[in-house]
Chains A and B, each alone.
Chain A
């Protein structure tokens, strides 16, 4: 997908751009009533890398993402983001800290246009009070235009100019997923969490989405954590992979290492535990 370079060469080039650990998950355990979703999971994420979380169904991948985002609060363990430690962060704080995400079942605002949905991604950067907005003078007007400009860059990047005034509810599934990515990008996040961004897409759509994800990582330097089922995609675009099974971590390393890990193979083939 990336032209003439071999996979190994590509990985070498990418490894040069990866920085220090910015996110560390330590011994996180999460339970819902009697069901243990996560069992003392620990891993780290380095700046500028693409980190994949994989595992069989029900392994706890979405729960892990929800913990990173503050939607779920783990009973045990801590999350360290750029030196700050927390367990009880709420999603609002997470967003303020530069974490943006997409969802497995698209969480777009169906009543609004594509443009408006993307603009909501800018909400944390908007400073004007509602009174100024009601009067539509000076600062409010300028702010609206300035944010529109940024959002238009995202629209150009994702090639969705032709549908910017279309109500999101009318778009096909693949485009909705792209718009959701756009809304996350509009927030100019430093950490992007993607929950199965390619679920339900055909081959072409997947290729496009891969291209966008890699471009985001290249151009904006955004650190990306993604959950994905398509092994081909995971092996091709991620720098490192975490493997979960029944809420516990069973593998952690480069795609090549994980692919050779017997425990991982057993989990996927369904060998009895």
Chain B
């Protein structure tokens, strides 16, 4: 087995995992602050990317478009909180989850109705080509773009960490995440906080949308990114940003390794066994989920999640 190829696959997987983490962080934010699992995060990523790209294609300046899209996402977040979540405030989490599924469909329909459904390309100035210096020195091909994505994710996490730790609003957000009633009791304006959280999640969705859009193009399939983020959350825990990063790395790495090595190793023996064509490609469609599932069976709350205690 070619060792440097293995490292290439591994590193490529880790960096792809960082991209997943970007989306997962949006989930974590909303879950931490309002206990809602926002299935619509993927649709938000898609909507953000599509809005941005459509504005740029219509001749709007890059930075200007960014600001406008951010504003749109913030408005979207606030509207969601007001129209969907507030009326459902005391319902069980399952109900809220299903409401966000409904929201997903609304966003998907809306995005395509307003902006059309043809795919777009997104240019961020960084190309998806191997880094010259690295390739020459060690023969390992790592994409420039992937490194850039990792950098962006790192900065985002750092900014969020500082925000939560050191600002007054960040503290309020943590209080709300811990106990709504107690937060109300000390005078924290719950509705404002939720609006802020959704706005921040919208911002994170925008960043994720830009990165994913640049990598894979902005098209309907982008909404399925949310589905990829779910195993990340299962492994890392729903309430932890470092968990989302770690989970993303694990998912990305194992998925890439499985994608490359499993068909190589199992195609031949299985073809013999079944007496007909067996092609194990495409394993990545479910591999991450099964990994997450096995993880859950051992540690139901994820790596960094809180243990759920059932009281009678």
Binding site for B on A (CB under 8 A): 71, 103, 105, 107
B185 lies within 8 A of chain A by Cβ = no
Q: How far is the CB of A91 from chain B (nearest CB, A)?
A: 10
Does B3 sit within 8 A of A, measured CB to CB?
no
Interface readout for B82-124 with A: 1 if CB under 8 Å, 0 if not? 0000000000000000000000000000000000000000000
**Chain B hits for A105, CB < 8 A:** 311-312
- 5 shortest interchain CB distances as A-B pairs: A107-B312, A103-B312, A71-B312, A105-B312, A105-B311
B191 CB to nearest A CB, Å: 28
A103–B310 CA distance with the chains assembled, in angstroms: 14
Interface residues of B (CB under 8 A from A): 311-312
Residues from chain A with Cβ under 8 Å of B311 in the complex: 105
> How many angstroms between the C-alpha atoms of A105 and B311 in the bound complex?
9
Min distance, Cβ A262 to any Cβ of chain B, angstroms: 35
Complex Cα gap A107–B312 (Å): 7
Q: In chain A, what residue has the closest Cβ to B311? A: A105
Shortest Cβ gap from A189 to chain B (Å) = 18
B95 CB, min distance to chain A CBs, angstroms = 14
- With a cutoff of 8 Å between Cβ atoms, the chain B residues found around residue A103 in the complex are 312
**A69's closest neighbor in chain B, by CB?**
B312
Minimal beta-carbon separation of B94 from chain A (angstroms): 13
Q: Which residues from chain B contact A71 at a C-beta distance below 8 Å?
A: 312
Which residue on B lies nearest to A104, using beta carbons? B312
CA distance A168 to B57 in the complex (A): 59
Tell me the minimal C-beta distance from B307 to chain A in angstroms. Answer: 12
Closest to A62 in B: B312
Give Cα distance in the complex from A103 to B311, angstroms.
Answer: 11
Q: How far is the CB of B180 from chain A (nearest CB, A)?
A: 20
Report B311 CB to chain A, min CB distance, Å. Answer: 8
Q: How far is the CA of A71 from the CA of B311 in the complex (A)?
A: 11
Residues of B within 8 A of A107 (CB): 312
Which residue of B is nearest A66, CB measured?
A: B312
What's the nearest-Cβ distance from chain A to residue B28, in Å? 28
Residues of A within 8 A of B312 (CB): 71, 103, 105, 107
**Closest approach, in angstroms, between the C-beta of A123 and any C-beta of chain B?**
18
What are 5 pairs between A and B in contact, CB < 8 Å? A71-B312, A103-B312, A105-B311, A105-B312, A107-B312
Closest to A103 in B: B312
Distance (whole angstroms) from the CB of B112 to the closest CB of chain A: 39
Would you give the shortest CB distance from A66 to chain B, in whole angstroms? 8
Cα A177 to Cα B311 in complex, Å, equals 18
Least distance between B92 CB and chain A CB atoms (Å): 11
In the complex the two chains form, what is the Cα distance from A181 to B173 in whole Å? 43
Chain B residue, CB-CB nearest to A107: B312
Whole-angstrom CA separation of A105 from B312 in the bound complex: 7
Q: How far is the CB of A195 from chain B (nearest CB, A)?
A: 9
In the assembled complex, the CB of A88 is this many whole angstroms from the nearest CB of chain B, namely 19
B309 → chain A closest CB, angstroms:
11
The answer for the CA separation of A55 and B272 in the assembled complex, in Å, is: 72
What's the Cα separation between A191 and B312 when bound, in Å?
20
A222–chain B nearest beta-carbon distance, Å: 22
- Cα A107 to Cα B311 in complex, Å, equals 10
Q: How far is the CA of A107 from the CA of B310 in the complex (A)?
A: 12
Bound state CA distance, A23 and B311, in angstroms? 26
Closest CB of chain B to A196's CB: distance in Å?
A: 13
The residue of chain B having its C-beta at the shortest distance from the C-beta of A195 within the complex is B312
CA distance A146 to B311 in the complex (A): 34
| Shortest Cβ gap from B312 to chain A (Å) | 6
Bound-state CA distance A112–B311 (Å) is 21
Q: How far is the CB of B90 from chain A (nearest CB, A)?
A: 14
Complex alpha-carbon distance, A157 and B30, angstroms: 51
Q: Taking the nearest CB of chain A, how far is it from the CB of B237, in angstroms?
A: 21
| A68 vs chain B, min Cβ distance (A) | 14
Task: Compute how far the CA of A217 lies from the CA of B312 in the bound complex, rounded to whole angstroms.
Answer: 26
- A65 to chain B: closest CB distance in Å? 11
